[in-house]
Amino acid sequence: MCCPHDRKKREVTTEAEVASLGLLVGILYDPKIHRLQECACCENLFFDISDEPRYCSLCQKPPVYALGGPLAEPEGVIS
């Protein structure tokens, strides 16, 4: 199942997965600085320096699918 932004839901669910993804883009996850958050849209974990609730970076973009209806299968958008 994907969110309206074509991101797989609940794909990143542990702190270790978040840290691993951060390393792939050159960011070292530090629990003393970063706050783990759950995106209210895709329900994936991500980290941010703020503890203010927000969507992850992919879900901040315009939706791929219209809201309110059944979601189609993902179209190959890399998460």
- Three-state SS for the chain is CECCCCCECCCCCCHHHHHHHHHHCCCCCCCCCCEEEECCCCCCEEEECCCCCCCCCCCCCCCCCCCCCCCCCCCCCCC
Q: How many domains does the chain have?
A: 1
pLDDT digits (tens, 9 = 90+) for 3-15: 888 889 999 999 9
Q: Tens digit of pLDDT for each residue in 28-69?
A: 989 899 999 999 999 999 998 888 899 998 999 988 877 665
Classify residue 77: in a domain, yes or no.
Answer: no
State the residue range of the domain holding 21: 1-61
- Whole-structure pTM value: 0.73
Q: 75 lies in a domain?
A: no
